[in-house]
Chain A
Amino acid sequence: MEFAELIKTPRVDNVVLHRPFYPAVEGTLCLTGHHLILSSRQDNTEELWLLHSNIDAIDKRFVGSVGTIIIKCKDFRIIQLDIPGMEECLNIASSIEALSTLDSITLMYPFFYRPMFEVIEDGWHSFLPEQGFELCSSATSEWRLSYVNKEFAVCPSYPPIVTVPKSIDDEALRKVATFRHGGRFPVLSYYHKKNGMVIMRSGQPLTGTNGRRCKEDEKLINATLRAGKRGYIIDTRSLNVAQQTRAKGGGFEQEAHYPQWRRIHKSIERYHILQESLIKLVEACNDQTHNMDRWLSKLEASNWLTHIKEILTTACLAAQCIDREGASILIHGTEGTDSTLQVTSLAQIILEPRSRTIRGFEALIEREWLQAGHPFQQRCAQSAYCNTKQKWEAPVFLLFLDCVWQILRQFPCSFEFNENFLIMLFEHAYASQFGTFLGNNESERCKLKLQQKTMSLWSWVNQPSELSKFTNPLFEANNLVIWPSVAPQSLPLWEGIFLRWNRSSKYLDEAYEEMVNIIEYNKELQAKVNILRRQLAELETEDGMQESP
């Protein structure tokens, strides 16, 4: 298919662009295969350069012969184009619609994007499972890497390499896989060096209504416990929901069969409930007409912060089991690809100082989200403005980022990255020139040959010039476990993402700049003082040498 077929009118003059914080500007609108570009006529500068894949929904309306297209982006921005000529407007609208909803992944921009920067470090190889395992294997020999899923045959949503208890062989893993939803047998998610406790994750056990059991599964899980120790299974569904899944072949671990494990049910919402929550929240943020009370009740009705609180609470509980109880845990919901990953990754933010660094956080996303098979392609297909509600669309990753922001807000000096880093990840998860978030799992990414055909987000982010934008000037390595508060008073709305286009951040940006300046100046002085000290020391030794006979 040629993009040209979809572009009925590639170019329109005298288009007026309205967008947040800028005065309206008139210019020429151009459509390319992947971008919508508006260049102003004055000096031919590009005023707007928008990826079609960032477009969530469009509305059109006509006043006389001038058509207006309202473009609602996945990053929640809303822009408006006034296009003279009804036909042009209709053509543009239908082209945008077609181009922003391309069916084939291989037509997406990452397959066409050619980087304008020199790749110093190929992000596709920055975070290899073997490296992650080294951190664990240096402390214990109880775990091993298994290649049982090499061909993605045992579990299609797992990566080829996973970490499992050493005493469990691949044959047993295959059996366990048949007993777990989607073949997602329990694997190691995190090893807590301090006390050797672990977080494992999996899909739900397929116990069904007649209480099916699997000896290998029980053996695998028990193999992670130290002698005489007990563990916790955190089921991210309410008991009720978990019971209901038995009718569909799913279920949960029966205590009788897992006597060393205690099951805790926490209720984290999923799928369309989350998507609707996001839609309501963004709608509330965009509604500027209502009064104070309506704002708060709309915020409340969106339930977004309730979800944040639930997820964070569960993550804290998991971290508490590990660090305070000295108990290992297994986390799963139904598929083990959504709420499970929210909890395992947030628990690591709380427990593991490394995951609060930039590299460490990237590794966490690579390991706990991409490799772990969070279906980004499905979940992030649409955002807050979508009309076509698909069951599999859900802002699971955005909720995770919001939770990280909440912890960052409570511990502003304990993270190496800043809020902009989280916003950047949100944007790229929904629309990007990089291949990192394409596909739903490692298997799909392999088939798409993303490593060969597209550029990794990490290749770009990890350049020093880019990193400086995402580095938190306040960062001081904090080797401790950080326990966030989950009281509603402590969990505000993430304005940086939800009110980003509704209020100017000028004064806040200035404050950030001021903060950077204060710290930079201090560092500068320190460097100067150190140089002088050295000079002085040298001079004085010379002095001393001259003095000695």
Chain B
Amino acid sequence: MEHIRTPKVENVRLVDRVSPKKAALGTLYLTATHVIFVENSPDTRKETWILHSQISTIEKQATTATGCPLLIRCKNFQIIQLIIPQERDCHDVYISLIRLARPVKYEELYCFSFNPMLDKEEREQGWVLIDLSEEYKRMGLPNHYWQLSDVNRDYRVCDSYPTELYVPKSATAHIIVGSSKFRSRRRFPVLSYYYKDNHASICRSSQPLSGFSARCLEDEQMLQAIRKANPGSDFVYVVDTRPKLNAMANRAAGKGYENEDNYSNIKFQFIGIENIHVMRNSLQKMLEVCELKSPSMSDFLWGLENSGWLRHIKAIMDAGIFIAKAVSEEGASVLVHCSDGWDRTAQVCSVASLLLDPHYRTLKGFMVLIEKDWISFGHKFNHRYGNLDGDPKEISPVIDQFIECVWQLMEQFPCAFEFNERFLIHIQHHIYSCQFGNFLCNSQKERRELKIQERTYSLWAHLWKNRADYLNPLFRADHSQTQGTLHLPTTPCNFMYKFWSGMYNRFEKGMQPRQSVTDYLMAVKEETQQLEEELEALEERLEKIQNVQLNCTKVKSKQSEPSKHSGFSTSDNSIANTPQDYSGNMKSFPSRSPSQGDEDSALILTQDNLKSSDPDLSANSDQESGVEDLSCRSPSGGEHAPSEDSGKDRDSDEAVFLTA
């Protein structure tokens, strides 16, 4: 690779984030796709793999006596600190990574070299796993009110929209084209979700080019058509998800929002979700808080508040709740837009759909939802998540926020989702990893041109194959929480929204609950299934023997070895004792707490084996004898591709109980 100035640096130290005095010595490798750190320690040879596409920032810090520190922040919230002995090497690594982390051509991305050893047929099957035509059929379309339009065939009307679009039956091609000319980037109103029960729908578009007084007959007819497609209601909500001030400012640029006087029977509503720049800064501020070394409770809470992150999450949720209520309770259709209708609109439509339709709360349904509201409707993945080198001002955690909204809902409705937290975390990871082709480019058009489906693999198939890892044990298809609309309390509940440490501090394993209820229950359920099978087999045999005995014939049957059902352990523990230097000076009291270093498998991503008391396996740790080694029932189906995991390292985490 021409961009790699130095492929290998020895005697590099990987600094432990929690206790900076501890560092692992090893060798750093740069490959075309990954940064790899391999520890020297012969018994572990632990490897840390970081995809170039996950690298968010690289920071060269002031050289110290020990070497030249390099700080790598990743888009999946991992932070890696390396100390490279030679300034020159450090510079080379730095320059190489700067280039490698910012590919300029799609072909440089990992998905074009990633090969999971599937044949062509399997790959093709993977791409058809999620089928949007099927999804519209599931919604009950086409029907008396809605039809599939071919107006955007070959992306003739709107190049950021998909070709397959549902519009009201009464909306003629003339109306559509007319309306598209009156909308930013020609993103005219189309159907996002159809609520079978009462014919209400959620439609989406971009802002109208209304300026101070412009109007467009076709656009007005388009909204009429949407209203008429819902015979149960005599008005349509138009939800502008922007703060009113932002929308008004747009009028000066010839854009803006719908004038209630021009459109008959609309109810116009601002929601007030901030723009991508505010969100980017907000996340930045929150991550700074997460990065603080041993922050006080006040530092943390104050920083969290100051970041505004949870306020933004709440705003998105509020918008989704408003729309879900309008649809399910008022039976009114809703047209949602923001400016271009590909960020906030996507967030809000998908949150509302998730609240309304239990299908989207299943594994496959959730994939469909992302495929529909995000991928097909031209959410600009490439720009927002910086897959290719581009304008940093375009980058914003738009889908991250949606994923967090889902997590917040999962916390409120623990039985309502078929998938678990790990599923969300892995989707977030792969939005940035560029390992699969799903999230490449900014639109369907671009993806087709790049022939993504012929050249890369689909994440959905990959997740589906490993679905056992992603199931929520509390989900039951016949449970009341899995039926119908999710009803959130009407009173404002700020305390409902919580900091998601499982996402933003996910590489600090010690901060997470050390035992996973999900994994425990999954293990119980797995055993239950085995027991059911065994029970059946036993009953059969018993019956047979009884029959045989009745007939007084002698049949010899062999008793099978009863399988032993030991407890389910969620922890893989053994305590290692690391006696500390016990000198008289009080300051020499160990500034480290008993650590809980996971000698985590290579499977950070798929197998977050949560361990209870984990050993600190530092080189000279003396293993305590006689401690029960509770073996771990690890979730099945780990992914072993090194590319998959961003950290093969043992996450050691030590809470520092003693403050300096």
Asked if A and B are interacting partners, one says yes
Q: Give A contacts to B, CB under 8 Å.
A: 230, 262-264, 285, 288-297, 299-300, 303, 305-306, 308-309, 313-314, 316-317, 320, 323-327, 409-414, 474, 476-493, 495, 499, 502-504, 507-508, 510-511, 514-515, 518-519, 521-522, 525-526, 528-529, 532-533, 535-537, 539-540, 542-544, 546-547
| B527 proximal to A (CB < 8 A) | yes
B66 touches A (CB below 8 Å):
no
Instruction: Given the known inter-chain contacts A262-B584, A305-B297, please indicate yes or no for A510 contacting B535, CB distance below 8 A.
Output: no
Given A483-B596, A546-B554, A547-B556, 8 more contacts at CB 8 Å?
A: A288-B492, A296-B301, A488-B300, A502-B493, A515-B474, A522-B528, A533-B538, A543-B557
Q: List the B residue with the shortest CB-CB distance to A513.
A: B415
Q: Quick check: A489 and B300 within 8 Å, CB to CB?
A: yes
- 8 cross-chain pairs, A with B, having the tightest CB-CB distances, nearest first: A488-B300, A511-B414, A296-B305, A300-B301, A295-B494, A292-B311, A525-B531, A532-B538
Contacting pair A536 B545 (CB below 8 A)? yes
A504–B414 CA distance with the chains assembled, in angstroms: 14
Verify B492–A316 contact, CB threshold 8 A.
no
Chain B's nearest CB lies how many Å from the CB of A549?
A: 12
B475 to chain A, nearest CB (A): 9
> Nearest CB to that of B616 among chain A residues?
A324
- Contact partners of B311 in chain A: CB under 8 A: 291-293
B515 at the interface (CB under 8 A from A): yes
Of B226-234, B439-447, B516-524, the one contacting chain A is B516-524
Question: Separation in Å of the B538 CB from the closest CB of chain A?
Answer: 4
Rounded to whole Å, the gap between the CB of B567 and the closest CB of chain A is 5
Q: Are A296 and B304 in contact (CB under 8 A)?
A: yes
Given A288-B491, A540-B557, A410 contacting B297 (CB threshold 8 A):
no
Closest to B509 in A: A485
Query: Once the chains bind, are B297 and A525 in contact (CB under 8 Å)?
Result: no
Known: A326-B579, A508-B414. A529 touches B531 (CB 8 A): yes
- In the assembly, what is the distance between CA of A238 and CA of B557, in Å? 74
- Which chain A residues lie closer than 8 Å to B657 at the CB level? 313-314, 316-317, 320, 486
- Among A292, A503, A525, residue most surrounded by chain B Cβ atoms (within 10 Å): A292
| B570 CB, nearest partner CB in chain A, Å | 5
Within 8 Å by CB of A292, from B414, B497, B531, B575, lies: B497
Cβ of B473 under 8 Å from chain A: yes
The answer on a CB contact under 8 Å between B494 and A291 is: yes
Contact across chains for A539 and B546 when beta carbons are under 8 A apart: yes
* Pairs across A and B, CB under 8 Å, 22 listed: A292-B314, A297-B302, A305-B297, A313-B657, A320-B657, A325-B580, A412-B520, A480-B612, A480-B628, A485-B655, A486-B655, A488-B299, A503-B489, A503-B493, A503-B496, A504-B489, A514-B415, A514-B479, A525-B528, A529-B538, A540-B545, A547-B556
List, in ascending order, chain B residues with CB within 8 A of A300's CB: 297-298, 301-302, 305
Contact among A290, A299, A481, A511 for B474, CB-based, below 8 A? A511
- Complex CA gap A546/B658 in Å reads 72
Q: Is the CB of A539 within 8 A of B535?
A: no
Question: Beta-carbon contacts of B564-581 to A below 8 Å, as 1s and 0s?
Answer: 010111110101011110
On whether the beta carbons of A507 and B415 are closer than 8 Å, the reply is yes
Contact of A536 among B308, B514, B542 (CB under 8 A): B542
* Known interface pairs A293-B308, A299-B301; A262-B586 also in contact (CB < 8 Å): yes
B115 at the interface (CB under 8 A from A): no
Q: Is the interface of A mostly helix, strand, loop or mixed?
A: helix
Task: Please name all residues of chain B whose beta carbon is closer than 8 Å to the beta carbon of A308 when the two chains form the complex.
Answer: 297
Tell me the minimal C-beta distance from A440 to chain B in angstroms: 31
Q: Any chain A CB within 8 A of the CB of B140?
A: no
Interface centre among A288, A323, A503, A507 (most CB of B within 10 A): A507
The interface residues of chain A lying within 8 Å CB-to-CB of B493 are: 288, 502-503
Asked if B290 contacts A489 (CB within 8 A), the reply is yes
Q: Is the CB of B594 within 8 A of A323?
A: yes
Question: Is residue B20 contacting chain A, with contact meaning CB distance below 8 A?
Answer: no
Chain A CB within 8 A of B532 CB:
yes
Residues of the B chain whose Cβ atoms lie less than 8 Å from the Cβ of A484? 655
**Does B133 interact with chain A (Cβ within 8 Å)?**
no
The smallest C-beta distance from A548 to any residue of chain B, in angstroms, reads 11
Instruction: Report the bound CA distance from A490 to B653 in whole Å.
Output: 12
- Could you say which of A285, A511, A537 has the most chain B C-beta atoms within 10 Å of its C-beta? A511
Q: In the bound complex, how far is the Cα of B514 from the Cα of A411, in angstroms?
A: 6
Whether B513 sits at the interface, judged by CB under 8 Å, is: yes
B594 contacts A481, CB within 8 Å? Answer: yes
> Provided the pairs A495-B495, A533-B538, A539-B545 are in contact, do residues A485 and B511 lie with their beta carbons within 8 angstroms?
yes
State A481–B659 Cα separation when bound (angstroms): 22
Is B305 a contact of A297 with CB atoms below 8 Å?
yes
Q: Are A324 and B542 in contact (CB under 8 A)?
A: no
- A43 CA to B531 CA, complexed, in Å: 48
Is B575 within 8 A of A480, CB to CB? Answer: yes
Least Cβ distance of B243 to chain A in Å?
A: 14
A480 touches which of B512, B521, B613 (Cβ 8 Å): B613
Give A487 to B545 CA distance when docked, in angstroms. Answer: 61
Which residue of chain B has the shortest Cβ distance to A479 in the bound complex?
B628
Q: Are B310 and A539 in contact (CB under 8 A)?
A: no
Bound state CA distance, A406 and B532, in angstroms? 36
